[in-house]
């Protein structure tokens, strides 16, 4: 079975979340993608912002993420999950070619913010993967939105998903209190 390298920089950095989507997932390593910025400007169907790898061409910009390997036949499953994104192959020094998802131009809106439950997956991913503290703080302290009442069912589903994916995890106190705050 052929395996391919996938660079996760958004909610899929959370290994339990990615495994729930693509069971063939295996973590390979932490990696840095140069000349890109992490933005939350990809418009979701619920109107919130999702993570996007924005190519900046600035050598000082970077995104830290997790490289996973997946069975090549499972790439289509991930493509279905990542609607509004286009798969792109990039080169990461020391690793080689990886694919990632970048937002389609017609889905970009710089005024967007992520919902708190969505950002929880990213926070969990950076903490569990011991991602660089200063980079992690940018994610942990990012502004978020609470869903409006018409999206309450989706919000509750997102929180329930978080709980079900991490039942045995030793969640750090700061993340645990954050999760309890967004649940109420």
Write out the residue range of the structural domain in which residue 21 sits.
3-107
Residue 153, judged by CB atoms within 10 A of its CB (0-12, 13-18, 19+), counts as exposed
Task: Supply φ then ψ for residue 98, to 5 degrees.
Answer: -135, 160
* Residue 66 and residue 94 in one domain: yes
- Distance between CA 161 and CA 121 in Å, rounded? 10
Comparing C-alpha atoms, which of 125, 117, 112 is closest to residue 178? 117
Task: Please report which confidence band the pLDDT of residue 38 belongs to, taking 50, 70 and 90 as the band edges.
Answer: very high
* Residue 60 and residue 127 in one domain: no
* Residue 89 and residue 140 in one domain: no
pLDDT digits (tens, 9 = 90+) for 91-116: 999 999 999 999 999 999 999 999 88
Residue 79, H or E segment? helix 75-81
* Residue 14 and residue 102 in one domain: yes
Considering the entire predicted model, what is its pTM? 0.84
Domain boundary among 87, 107, 127: 107
The DSSP secondary structure of 47-76, one letter per residue, reads S-EEEEEEE---TT-EEEEEEEEEEGGGHH
pLDDT digits (tens, 9 = 90+) for 133-146: 888 888 878 888 87
């Amino acid at each position: 079975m052929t395996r391919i390298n996938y660079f996760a920089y958004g909610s899929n950095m959370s290994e339990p979340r990615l495994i729930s989507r693509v069971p063939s997932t295996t973590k390979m390593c932490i990696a840095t993608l140069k000349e890109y910025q992490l933005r939350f400007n990809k418009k979701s169907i619920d109107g919130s912002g999702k993570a996007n790898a924005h190519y900046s061409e600035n050598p000082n910009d970077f995104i830290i993420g997790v490289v996973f390997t997946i069975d090549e036949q499972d790439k289509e499953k991930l493509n279905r999950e990542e609607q509004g994104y286009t798969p792109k192959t990039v080169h990461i020094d020391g690793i080689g070619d990886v694919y990632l998802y970048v937002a389609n131009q017609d889905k970009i809106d710089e005024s967007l913010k992520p919902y708190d439950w969505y950002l929880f997956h990213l926070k969990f991913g950076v903490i569990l993967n011991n991602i660089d503290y200063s980079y992690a703080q940018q994610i942990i302290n990012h502004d978020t939105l609470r869903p409006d009442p018409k999206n309450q069912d989706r919000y509750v589903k997102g929180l329930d998903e978080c709980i079900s994916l991490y039942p045995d995890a030793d969640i750090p106190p700061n993340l645990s209190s954050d999760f309890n705050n967004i649940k109420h």
